[in-house]
Amino acid sequence: MKLNIKTKLYQTNYILILICFLSIVTSWLISYFDYVNMVNNGYINKKSISFRLEEMNKPFNPNLSGYILMQYDNERLSPKYVYINGDVKLPPIIKNNNFNIDKDIDSHAAIVGASASIESIPNGYTITGTFDTSHSYRLSSDIWLLSRIEELHLDKGHYFIFTSPSSSPEDKLSALMNGNPYEVLSMQNYGTYSLASNSLFQNILWALYLFFLLIALAHTINGHRKDGKLITVLYYSGFSTYRLIWIMIKLRLFSFMLISIFLVISCVLLNRYIYSLWDTSWLLYSFCFIGFQSLSIIIASISTSCQYSVKKEGHRF
């Protein structure tokens, strides 16, 4: 009997798990579109910070990781001196045989776009890879000169673009600057970022995310209403309201959380080993969905348990 009840409750959770999966896919799509836009905008995203540095009183913080810093001259946007620190996702690159990002930074390597003017590459740099971005005219004409942050000098240019997957790139940049004063510049976004259809579609994806949130909420409320009779039976059988709340939470919430976290972990592994994105904001959105849903299950469990034990049926006895 106990097993049957559990099976019944688990079965009703399948739809919720499906909706959870769809919301994770939507969250991933939001991040994916942002990554595509970033590639099309020359690997600069909406959270990138452009700034100008007139003088450098202290060297930049060499211990900070998880960012890409591009340095360029105001006369020409390319080539750029690019400082990559930590485990960050790079744009698609067709690598030469002996490509190794850590080694290449040390050995003055250049990554170039298919239509870049390679004659502008300074002496001492060798091409180790080509951008594999057939739709990004910006990266296709770009040249990245990989350098170590310790080699940063202002004679290479006073203009910088800082990009980090961190949720707060401003704080990270501030830590990197090590007290050097800099002037933030408000730059415009190009590529697919500047297509109205693209930004509108991002809003559609958010609406879809909201849609799944609503559907999941409606499903939770409806599912708990269906459990009313079961709660009444258990209440008659001697279970206290507190125990019923616990049973409902245990059966409804734990199974949901177990499967949804399994889903998220699977997605994380896929993201890490098969196809990764620039940042993990989609994971945050997924966790927000699971958190909201878990909260709604807890509230629904408490309210249904109270309603169908003490209030609805219990008062007669």
Query: Could you list the residues that contact other proteins (CB under 8 A)?
Result: 15, 19, 22, 29, 33, 36, 40, 52, 74-75, 115, 134-137, 140-141, 158-159, 185-188, 190-192, 194-201, 203-205, 207-208, 210-211, 214-215, 218-219, 221-222, 225, 312, 316
Q: What is the rounded (10 degree) CA torsion for 236, 241, 243, 245? A: 120
Nearer to other proteins, 10 or 211 (CB): 211
Q: How far is the CB of 208 from other proteins (least distance, A)?
A: 6
Nearer to other proteins, 210 or 284 (CB): 210
Nearer to other proteins, 178 or 199 (CB): 199
Q: How far is the CB of 102 from other proteins (least distance, A)?
A: 31
Q: How far is the CB of 233 from other proteins (least distance, A)?
A: 16
Cα–Cα distance, 147 to 125 (Å, whole number): 10
Nearer to other proteins, 85 or 192 (CB): 192
Q: How far is the CB of 29 from other proteins (least distance, A)?
A: 6
Q: How far is the CB of 172 from other proteins (least distance, A)?
A: 23
Nearer to other proteins, 5 or 22 (CB): 22
